[in-house]
């Protein structure tokens, strides 16, 4: 548990003395279903994400990564446990938490008939960013992500999946979140787009005071981006540490071996067994 | 950045701007709705013009003109109120279809501001559609408005807006509660309101139990009052018996609708129904 003082109710500003932990989740449980068919998607997960770090949450499809991200995003209310984002409770201080976070999900979630710029200006407005500022900032981020100037006014449905995902990342950074939740941001991207997005995420973390919680089922991505890695299996956090710590702890030469030892299954096999992400 | 009334108005305007941008991108569908509205309203109005031929009796011209105006007021008022109800009750279903619902619900916009923004956007749309429909009908059918009290009619329409906003917000919660059938349920509500509100006939002709329902519909009072204002020049004072019930329904239904929506939103977040599309 963190030791920061509780912020005042209704206060939506980040705490003056921001806590060392960006995310504190204690005993978080979320189950779905009913009539005797309840399934625990997240099972008593406790984790701390330090301010300024990239924390990689590694797990197969159906391991509970996206459910946990949704709990942190205030989109799901946990059945049990406590979640604080920079000291603010996701349940009782929902609006304050929302102001501190942004999320990129595996599906880009845009108004596809609107252009990239229209979507970004709209998103900026929702976070109190003036349209002029949003346009200027969005242009800069999109340029950096390799999206040509002449494409930003095209309807998003005409952009490739990779470009849409880059726009989603631009949207998240546009609002300067203190905590960025990246839920499988590179799934479905070609190798080049994947590399560009990964470089951008790393660069932005280095340049800004952002904490990033990244979910992935890509071992290479976790290794490449994350300062620390947590392995989620069947809703439970079964291992946690830096890549080197995990390899040392499990006596493994590669992260893939760590995953297999910690979960008893290979990541690819688990993905096939579980089907789509939850 | 987003504090105070000015800040909230700025946030609400984001939804107005977004809806206007979407209308431009879906312009072909907007043309369809406008043409459909004109054609159905005109068809109903021609029933009045054809009254002598349909009844086989002798109907003097003044009576025909009155009948035409009677039908016209009903059809225009219903289209206006119907657009408001449709657009607001489809807030959730529409965002689910676009795939943006989680992004909207994760943004730091209070639900009241979000829904008020959508109501403002809807009002703009309903006004544009109704004015275009009225102008188009005036080209085909001579309408006698020599005795009309426009101020009274507009006041009644404003009261109707309040009541239908409340009703729409309450029905917008249905798809959160029942992802598979919620939207269909709101269409049923709208259909029943059409039947019992005397849009095309006096409610006196309804059988007893339906007549009882008509007393609960705000459209009953709004349309009856608008007819008195536009056909007989009734002033606000004499229309008070029609205004107060509709106003009371509006004053009660908006906070009740909002309370229901917020409660159902929490239920959806507890049960994971926010994103499900059925």
A61-96 residue pLDDT tens: 889 999 999 999 999 999 999 999 999 999 999 999
pLDDT average, residue stretch B80-105: 93
Domain ranges in chain B are: 4-271
The percent of residues in chain B predicted with pLDDT above 90, rounded, is: 82
Q: What is the pTM of this model?
A: 0.88
* pLDDT for res B266: 95
- The answer to whether residue A73 neighbours chain B at the CB level (below 8 Å) is yes
| Residue A102 predicted with pLDDT over 60 | yes
Task: Give A155's DSSP letter.
Answer: B
Q: Is residue A144 part of a domain?
A: no
pLDDT average, residue stretch A173-191: 88
In the numeric block, the tokens 């109704």 are attached to: B130
* pLDDT for res B128: 94
Q: Is residue A55 part of a domain?
A: yes
pLDDT in tens, A12-26: 455 555 568 999 999
Q: Is residue A131 part of a domain?
A: no
pLDDT average, residue stretch A111-129: 94
CA A265 to chain centre: 24
* pLDDT for res A186: 86
**In this complex, do B106 and A114 lie within 8 Å of one another by their Cβ atoms?**
no
Q: Is residue A15 part of a domain?
A: no
Closest CA to A40 of A60, A63, A56: A63
Nearest to A107 among B99, B107, B108 (CB): B99
pLDDT average, residue stretch A182-198: 86
Residue B168, both tokens: 């729409």
Cα–Cα distance measured from residue A211 to residue B241, given in angstroms and rounded to the nearest whole number: 61
Q: How far is B115 from chain A (nearest CA, A)?
A: 13
Cα–Cα distance measured from residue B6 to residue A28, given in angstroms and rounded to the nearest whole number: 38
Q: Name which of A10, A34, A75 to mutate to probe chain B: the one with the most chain B Cβ atoms within 10 A of its Cβ.
A: A75
Count of CB pairs separated by less than 8 Å, A with B: 89
Residue B56 has a CB neighbour count (10 Å cut-off) of 7
- Tell me which chain A residues have a C-beta less than 8 angstroms from the C-beta of B21: 111, 114, 118, 122
* pLDDT for res A3: 37
Q: Is residue A113 part of a domain?
A: no
In the numeric block, the tokens 């197969």 are attached to: A60
Task: Give A77's DSSP letter.
Answer: -
Q: What is the ipTM of this complex?
A: 0.86
The percent of residues in chain B predicted with pLDDT above 70, rounded, is: 98
Kindly indicate the confidence band of residue B168, based on its pLDDT and cuts at 50, 70 and 90.
Answer: very high
Residue A182 maps to which CATH number?
3.40.50.300
* pLDDT for res B55: 86
Domains of chain A: total: 1
Q: Name which of B104, B108, B262, B269 to mutate to probe chain A: the one with the most chain A Cβ atoms within 10 A of its Cβ.
A: B108
- CB proximity under 8 Å: A 216-235 to B: none
- CB proximity under 8 Å: A 127-156 to B: 127-129, 155
What domain range includes position A84?
47-108+177-274
- Top pLDDT among A189 and A55 is at A55
Query: Which run of H or E residues covers position A88?
Result: strand A88-89
Which of A241-245, B54-58, B242-246 has the weakest average pLDDT?
B54-58
């Amino acid at each position: 548990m963190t030791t920061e003082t509780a912020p005042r109710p209704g206060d939506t500003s980040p705490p003056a003395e921001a806590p060392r932990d960006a995310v504190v989740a204690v005993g978080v449980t979320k189950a779905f279903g009913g009539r005797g068919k309840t399934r625990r998607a997240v099972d008593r997960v406790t984790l701390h994400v330090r301010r300024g770090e990239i924390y990689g949450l590694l797990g197969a499809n159906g391991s509970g990564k996206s459910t946990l991200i949704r709990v942190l995003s205030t989109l799901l209310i946990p059945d049990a446990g406590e979640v604080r984002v920079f000291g603010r409770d996701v349940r009782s201080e929902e609006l304050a938490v929302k102001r501190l976070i942004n999320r990129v999900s595996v599906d880009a979630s845009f108004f596809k008939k609107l252009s990239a710029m229209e979507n970004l200006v709209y998103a900026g407005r929702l976070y109190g960013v003036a349209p002029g500022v949003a346009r200027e900032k969005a242009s800069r981020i999109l340029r950096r992500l390799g999206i040509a100037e002449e494409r930003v006014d095209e309807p998003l449905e005409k952009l490739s999946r990779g470009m849409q995902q880059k726009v989603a990342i631009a949207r998240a950074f546009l609002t300067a979140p203190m905590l960025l939740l990246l839920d499988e941001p590179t799934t479905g991207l070609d190798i080049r787009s994947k590399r560009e997005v990964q470089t951008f995420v790393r660069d932005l973390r280095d340049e800004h005071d952002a904490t990033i919680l990244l979910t992935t089922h890509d071992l290479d991505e976790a290794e490449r981006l994350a300062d620390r890695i947590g392995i989620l299996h069947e809703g439970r956090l079964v291992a946690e540490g830096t890549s080197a710590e995990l390899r040392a702890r499990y006596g493994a030469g590669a992260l893939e071996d760590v995953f297999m030892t910690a979960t008893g299954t290979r990541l690819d096999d688990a993905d096939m067994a579980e089907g789509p992400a939850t | 950045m987003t504090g105070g009334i000015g800040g909230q108005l700025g946030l609400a305007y984001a939804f107005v701007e977004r809806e206007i941008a979407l209308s431009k991108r879906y312009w072909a569908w907007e043309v369809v709705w406008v043409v459909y509205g004109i054609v159905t309203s005109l068809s109903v109005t021609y029933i009045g013009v054809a009254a002598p031929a349909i009844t086989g009796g002798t109907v003097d011209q003044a009576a025909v003109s009155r009948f035409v105006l009677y039908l016209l007021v009903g059809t225009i008022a219903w289209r206006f109120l119907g657009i408001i109800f449709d657009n607001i009750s489809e807030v959730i279903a529409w965002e689910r279809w676009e795939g943006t619902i989680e992004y909207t619900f994760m943004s730091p916009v209070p639900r009241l501001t979000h829904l008020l923004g959508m109501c403002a956007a809807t009002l703009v749309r309903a006004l544009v559609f109704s004015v275009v429909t009225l102008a188009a009908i005036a080209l085909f059918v001579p309408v006698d408005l020599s005795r009309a009290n426009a101020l009274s009619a507009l006041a009644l329409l404003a009261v109707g807006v309040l009541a239908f906003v409340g009703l729409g917000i309450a029905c917008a919660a249905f798809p959160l509660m029942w992802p598979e059938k919620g939207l269909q349920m709101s269409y049923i509500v709208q259909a029943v309101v059409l039947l019992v509100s005397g849009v095309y006939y006096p409610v006196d002709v309804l059988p007893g139990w339906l007549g009882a329902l008509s007393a609960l519909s705000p459209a009953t009072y709004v349309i009856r009052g608008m007819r008195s204002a536009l056909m007989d020049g009734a002033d606000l004072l004499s229309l008070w018996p029609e205004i107060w019930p509709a106003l009371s329904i509006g004053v009660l239904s908006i906070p009740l609708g909002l309370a229901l929506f917020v409660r159902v939103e929490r239920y959806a977040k507890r049960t994971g129904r926010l994103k499900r599309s059925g």
